[in-house]
Structure 1
Amino acid sequence: MPTLEALQRRQHTLGELAGIVRTMKTLSAVSIRQCERAASALADYDADVASGLAAVLAELPTPAAEAAADPRRAALVLLGSDHGLCGHFNEGLLEAVRAAGCRPSRLLAVGERLADLCADAGLHPLERLPAPVAASGLTTTVAAVLGVLAGWREQQAGVQVQLWHPRIQLGDPHQPQALTLLPPALTELRARPWPHAARTPGFGQPAATLLEALLEEHLFVRLYRALAEALASEHQSRLLTMEAAEHHITERLAGLDGEVRQARQEAITGELLDLVAGFEAMAR
């Protein structure tokens, strides 16, 4: 059985670990709230951009319907994590992509850990970007992803791009979700009603130029909200992991408390027996 001093050292170490876990839980909870606020802050802007697209598309001729492309061959953007302690986060996303039968000609992985998993799974060619660690880094990451997409569009006109990202759904902190980024869903955007039908806006520049600018903003908003949801999902997964760790530490501390009390009692009993034995020896 360990000595009293060894048990007390374990007790102290576990107490410090419990403090770290509580801090990580707090940081994750705060980060989830920040990501949710960042995503919701773009709701009005997203609606305005979509309404503007509907108004511009109404002035342009309806393009001929194109043959539907195979989504399994689309270029992929995967949003994952650079950090651990978040459970089955990156693995769950990669498993969903592989289960969908995706065979991408291009692949961008956001998150170094996810990129390494993709490379091990043989998903090539592979480009990688660091994942944001907080809501304040979302804009920088979106700009970097847009730069990669711009390169893809220069290399292949009409490239189809699918975005996969974890999202909190029905209690699952990392339920993978697929979203088509390119080409934009012009038919759906065209069908969106202008909120003020009696006051359809006029344009101070060519409709095609305005359409291109609005589509870039539409792509930015979709990427930003997806990244915010993925980051919130990562922190939610980490929060659940920390809660499980805290529960385990609490149980272990309770067990150690009992062992420390027993060891202390045995030490006291041993000292008393030594005193009694010494007294009896002197009495003789």
Structure 2
Amino acid sequence: MATTLTALRRQISSAGDLKAVVRTMKASAASAIGQYEQSVTALADYARTVEFGLGVCLRAVDPLGLQRQEPTTDATAVVHAIVFGSDQGLVGRFNEAVVEHALAALSQPSANTKTTVKIWAVGERVEARLADAGIALEGSFAVPGSVELITQLVGQILLNIQLPDSAAKIATQHATLMLFFNRPSALGYSPESQRLLPLDAAWQRALVSQPWPAKQLPEVLGSNATTLQAFVREHLFVSLFRASAESLASENASRLAAMQRADRNIGERLQTLQAQFHQLRQAGIDEELFDVISGFDALSAGD
């Protein structure tokens, strides 16, 4: 009896400690979600400024939009795919979902049978999922642990994927760049894909046609191509930063949901253990009382 009660006490203590850890992780995930969502919101104004600059440069380079057509098929096309995942676990199907989405999109038949796909992973967990799927990765990056480290990650990506060195190549499939990441949604998160390069022709025309917010119209000083290249790289930076921040927000949302389920399960387990403990303890007390009463009755009968 004593051994069973001791075992129950140990289980209740362990469950209580685990519940405290889970609550700490819940608070940490909830706090992280807020900072990453705030970074995406703060980036919106800068992204809009970059789009205005791109529109001005595109208008200066090609006022009529005659050259902003969809890219033609290139027999030596290379597609760079960046898949954002996590370094840590306890995120449910977070990594599986984005890997399945990426593989489904990249496996679609292309008009160019000689297209080479180079996949880069952000996060050890998503890297392992891609390896399990038989994908030979071009490289991998560590998941940033804070908003400040996202800039470093973006710099590493742009340095390693070897983008074209001139603005004249932004409309060719030599510069195809795809992003795959989880985006926060009403259900927690959903896998998304985004093509950064070549620049979408309809999107370029929309940038050129959008009205300037001030009466004084801008003009490009110096080389139009050089300025355009700078704005394209800023657009890539903004897009990669936003994708990473949204992926991190989704990761923490998934972890928060997992911790909430764990907290609920641990609470139910604690209630069950405590009920068993009280029931067993009461049974022990009842047994001891019966022994006392039986002994008293025996002594009384002997007298």
User: In 1, Cα distance between the equivalents of 2:13 and 2:38?
Assistant: 38
Judging changes above 3 Å, is the alpha-carbon distance between structure 1 residues 159 and 41 closer, same or farther for their aligned structure 2 residues?
Answer: same
Alpha-carbon shift at residue 102 of structure 1 (Å): 2.7
Distance, in Å, in 2 between the alignment partners of 1:119 and 1:126 is 11
Q: Which stretches of structure 1, 4 residues or more, deviate above 4 A after TM superposition? A: 280-283
| Count of residue correspondences | 280
Q: Secondary structure at the match of 1:22?
A: helix
Structure 1 position 282, deviation (Å): 4.9
The answer to whether the 8 Å contact 1:31/1:135 transfers is: no
Letter of the 2:204 partner, please give it.
L
Task: Assess, with a 3 A threshold, how the Cα gap between structure 1 residues 69 and 188 changes in structure 2: closer, same or farther.
Answer: farther
Residue pairs, 1:1-284, within 5 angstroms: 3-61=4-62, 62=65, 63=67, 65=69, 66-67=71-72, 74-102=79-107, 105-149=117-161, 151=162, 153=164, 158-171=174-187, 173-185=188-200, 187-192=202-207, 193-196=210-213, 198-280=215-297, 282-283=299-300, 284=302
SS at match of 2:183: strand
Q: SS state of the match for residue 254, structure 2?
A: helix
In structure 2, C-alpha distance between the alignment counterparts of 1:17 and 1:219, rounded to whole Å:
43
Looking at structure 2, the residues matched to 252 and 3 of structure 1 have their Cα atoms a distance apart, in angstroms, of 17
CA displacement 1:22-79 (0-9 Å, x = unmatched): 1111111111111100011111111011001111111112426332679x97321100
Instruction: Provide the C-alpha distance between the structure 2 equivalents of 1:270 and 1:224, rounded to a whole number of angstroms.
Output: 68
Deviation at 1:218, TM superposition (A): 0.8
Shift of 1:254: 1.1
Q: Is the 8 A contact 1:134 1:231 kept in 2?
A: no
Asked whether the 8 Å contact 1:50–1:189 carries over to 2, the reply is no
Tell me the TM-score normalised to structure 2 length.
Answer: 0.84
What CA deviation, in whole Å up to 9, does each residue of 1:232-281 have, x standing for no partner?
11111111111111111111111112101111111212222333344455
Q: Give the gaps of 5 or more residues in structure 2.
A: 109-115
* Greater mean alpha carbon deviation, residues 72-81 or residues 216-225: 72-81
After the TM superposition, which of the residue ranges 110-119 and 120-129 deviates more from structure 2?
Answer: 120-129
Identity of aligned residues (%): 35
1-side partners of 2:249 and 2:177: how far apart? Answer: 23
Q: Secondary structure at the match of 2:292?
A: helix
Deviation at 1:205, TM superposition (A): 2.2
TM-score, length of structure 1 as denominator length: 0.90
Of residues 199-208 and 156-165 in structure 1, the stretch that sits farther from structure 2 once superposed is 156-165
Q: Which amino acid aligns with 1:46?
A: A
Q: Which shows bigger deviation, 57-66 or 4-13?
A: 57-66
1:55-111 CA-partner distances (Å, limit 9, x unpaired): 1111112426332679x9732110001110000011111111222353762010000
